[in-house]
Amino acid sequence: MKRVYVNEAWCLGCHLCEYNCAFANSGLSDMALALKGKPIYPRIHVEGDEKISYAVSCRHCEDPICVKSCIAGALSKKDGVVQIDKSRCVGCFTCLLVCPYGALAPSETGIMQKCELCLENACGEPACVRGCPNRAIVYEERGEAV
């Protein structure tokens, strides 16, 4: 299955992926209208410091502890993608408490949201990857564990 991978050595720390993510998931076609002057709630975030930086988003784990821990049955895994049914989420943050990668954060409304590889929005492929100016984020197959 294709996943999003990062290369720290190539990441410039420009945070463009965060903006592209928020835009792709906004449902709007005008980036300025979607993002200008508003706090953004991306599903990917850049971590690190001035020396090293990299983007973190859901790893779509083989055995996702967030899915096993969700108290609302809102998280599930379909065709390898860890998905969230936002209508079920009550914002208890248990997934945030257990994700070892720190890949989950709430949306503006307090309900959780997460990277679904842009398969659920109009972008159709990860917007963070498409917009990365230095190819520090890639979308590729690296094989499943046997």
Partner 1 sequence: MKRYVIVGNGVAAAGCIEGIRSVDPSGGITVISEENRAVYCRPLISYYLEGKTDLDRMDYRSGDFYERSGVRVLYGRTATHIRPDSREIELDDGTTVPYTGLCLAAGSSPFIPPFEGLDTVKNRYSFMTLDDAAALERELRQKKRVLIVGAGLIGLKCAEGLAERAASVAVCDLADRVLSSILDAECAAVMQKHLERHGIRFYLNDSAVRFEENAAYMKSGAVIPFDVLVLAVGVRANTSLFKEIGGEVNRGILVDAGMRTSVADIYAAGDCAEGTDISSGQKRVLAIMPNAYMQGHTAGVNMAGGREVFDKAIPMNSIGFFGLHAMTAGSYEGELYEEKTETSLKRLFTKDDLLKGFILIGCDERAGIYTSMIREKTPLSSVDFDRMKKAASTAAFSAAERRKKFGGVV
Residues engaged in binding partner 1 (CB under 8 A): 3, 5-6, 8, 47-49, 52, 54, 56, 59, 61-62, 65, 68-69, 71-73, 87-88, 90-102, 104-105, 110, 142-145
Can you tell me whether residue 98 is helix, strand or coil? helix
Question: Least distance from C-beta 105 to partner 1, angstroms?
Answer: 7
Q: Are the beta carbons of 135 and 16 closer than 8 angstroms? A: no
Nearer to partner 1, 16 or 55 (CB): 55
Question: Least distance from C-beta 33 to partner 1, angstroms?
Answer: 28
Provide φ and ψ at 128, rounded to 5°: -65, -40
SS3 content of the chain, % helix, strand, coil (to 5): 20, 20, 60
Nearer to partner 1, 32 or 63 (CB): 63
Nearer to partner 1, 33 or 101 (CB): 101
Nearer to partner 1, 1 or 122 (CB): 1
Q: Residue 41, by phi and psi: left (phi above 0), alpha (psi -120 to 50) or beta? A: beta
